[in-house]
């Protein structure tokens, strides 16, 4: 794919993020299943539901651009999901497992925050007001999720410190 202007760069990131969200939509229920803490399970499940809405927002933006909603393999998210799998394969005490799951999930959230921040900047420059509004909604959800995970980590990391 040739990327020769900001419109095309925006579309590139839209496709990349669409694929990233789809990968996360599959991974989050697995994280919920692996989590020991009920609160952490609930946080992953809630974000899985939010992710379905975020995917719909991206589809709306594809429609605004008159482009088919089609993803392009997001290598960054693939690596982050892979790292999450590695955490789940460890035979760790519950609190250590949960701390590891939170760390993996927060890395993914930060990746998304960067992606949506970039896309929001481009949408603003390109004068795409409706797209900008949708991107900002998702961006604030990603930030809120990250903060929620930080709050849960405060107690869980402390438990993990005393796990063995
Ligand atoms: Fe997301
Ligand atoms: Fe997210």
CA distance 57 to 142: 14
Q: Is residue 20 part of a domain?
A: yes
Q: Is residue 69 part of a domain?
A: yes
Identify the nearest ligand to the CA of 109 by its number. Answer: 2
CA distance 118 to 128: 14
List phi, psi (to 5°) of 90: -70, 150
pLDDT of 164:
80
CA 2 to ligand 2 centroid distance, Å: 28
CA distance 38 to 122: 39
CA 10 to ligand 2 centroid distance, Å: 19
Query: Which tokens sit at 50?
Result: 């939010």
Identify the nearest ligand to the CA of 110 by its number. Answer: 2
Range of the domain at 10: 6-159
Total Cβ atoms within 10 A of residue 48: 18
CA 148 to ligand 1 centroid distance, Å: 14
Q: Is residue 58 part of a domain?
A: yes
CA 51 to ligand 2 centroid distance, Å: 6
CA 1 to ligand 1 centroid distance, Å: 25
User: How long, in residues, is the chain?
Assistant: 164
Query: Which CATH number is 96's domain given?
Result: 1.20.1260.10
> What is the rounded end-to-end Cα distance, in angstroms, of the chain?
52
Identify the nearest ligand to the CA of 17 by its number. Answer: 1
Q: Is residue 1 part of a domain?
A: no
What total number of domains does the chain contain? Answer: 1
CA 27 to ligand 1 centroid distance, Å: 11
Mean pLDDT by 10 residues, the chain (164 residues): 91 98 98 98 98 98 97 98 98 97 98 98 98 98 98 96 88
Looking at residue 90, the DSSP 8-state letter turns out to be S
CA 57 to ligand 1 centroid distance, Å: 10
Q: Is residue 164 part of a domain?
A: no
pLDDT of 73:
97
Please give the model's pTM, rounded to 2 decimal places: 0.96
């Amino acid at each position: 794919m040739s990327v020769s202007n900001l419109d095309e760069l925006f579309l590139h990131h839209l496709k990349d993020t669409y694929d990233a969200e789809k990968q996360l939509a599959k991974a989050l229920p697995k994280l919920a299943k692996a989590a020991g803490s009920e609160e952490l399970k609930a946080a992953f499940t809630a974000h899985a539901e939010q992710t379905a809405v975020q995917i719909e927002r991206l589809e709306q933006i594809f429609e605004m651009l008159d482009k088919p909603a089609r993803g392009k393999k997001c290598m960054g998210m693939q690596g982050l999901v892979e790292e999450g799998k590695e955490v789940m394969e460890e035979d760790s005490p519950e609190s250590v497992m949960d701390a590891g799951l939170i760390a993996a999930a927060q890395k993914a959230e930060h990746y998304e925050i960067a992606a949506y921040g970039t896309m929001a900047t481009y949408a603003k420059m390109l004068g795409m007001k409706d797209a900008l509004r949708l991107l900002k909604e998702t961006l604030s959800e990603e930030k809120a999720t990250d903060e929620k995970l930080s709050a849960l980590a405060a107690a869980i990391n402390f438990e993990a410190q005393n796990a063995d």
